[in-house]
Amino acid sequence: MNKLKNTDTRIQIQETLCSEKTKNQFQEMEVEESWEGIKRTKKQWMTQEILNLMKERRLVKNKDSKNYSQIQRKIRKRIRQTKEQYMTSKCKELEDLNSRHDTFNVHKKIKEATARYKKRVSDTIKTNDGELVIEIEEKLNSEITQLEVEYAIKTAKGGKALDPDDIPVELLKVMGKNCIQLLVAFFNKSYDM
């Protein structure tokens, strides 16, 4: 990351990121195929079996109510079992850490398990003209602007651990205007789906 402070390196990275080849690959990339690489389960205890049952449930939702109910019961039962197993393993892990007098990691694991704090997100949206959008329909139909993406990148703190997408913030900050325009186009393309 220290190399990014060097001006020559930054220019070279910008040229590589914003080359015509990259632009063409980025524009040809389908939103669904790129989303497959990013999305993951939100709950740590979620298993592929439960996800498959949920897909099956989705397919029979309005067609076969009896089958839908059976699948729903299966899902609830599997979720209860899986959650129980997950919590048992977490408790055993905590007991093991506690028996080794590792209070730092005990506190860390408890905090992870019980974390309830979520950062508040502003729900005000401005149009390209600078007017505030009040109606919900207008908010849903508004596009992501380049200024929003630039602001998000500019205000992101560097030197932090990588996000699930494995892209360091410092690399995003090095990107030029052309690359940011590509990102905005990609975001809006995925937003329109």
Determine the 3-state secondary structure of 96 from DSSP: helix
126: enclosing H helix or E strand = strand 125-126
Query: What pLDDT digit, counting tens, does each position of 31-79 carry?
Result: 556 555 555 556 788 888 998 999 999 999 888 889 999 999 999 999 9
pTM over 0.75: no
Which residue has better confidence, 156 or 99? 99
Q: Is 125 in contact with 133 (CB distance < 8 Å)?
A: yes
pLDDT band at 179 (very low <50, low <70, confident <90, very high): confident
CA distance 91 to 26: 45
CA 44, chain centre distance (Å) = 14
Which residue has better confidence, 171 or 74? 74
pLDDT of residue 40: 58
What tokens does 159 get?
A: 């030197």
CA distance 81 to 165: 30
Q: What is the mean pLDDT of residues 164-171?
A: 74
Q: What is the mean pLDDT of residues 106-128?
A: 72
133: enclosing H helix or E strand = strand 132-133
- Ranges of each domain in the chain: 48-114, 119-193
CA distance 132 to 134: 6
pLDDT > 90: what percent of the chain? 23
CA distance 81 to 129: 53
Q: Which residues on neighbouring strands pair with residue 133, listed in sequence order?
A: 125
pLDDT of residue 57: 92
Helices (H), 120-176: 136-141, 146-155, 169-174
Q: What is the mean pLDDT of residues 140-164?
A: 79
Helices (H), the chain: 7-17, 20-28, 31-38, 48-59, 65-99, 103-114, 136-141, 146-155, 169-174, 177-192
pLDDT band at 184 (very low <50, low <70, confident <90, very high): confident
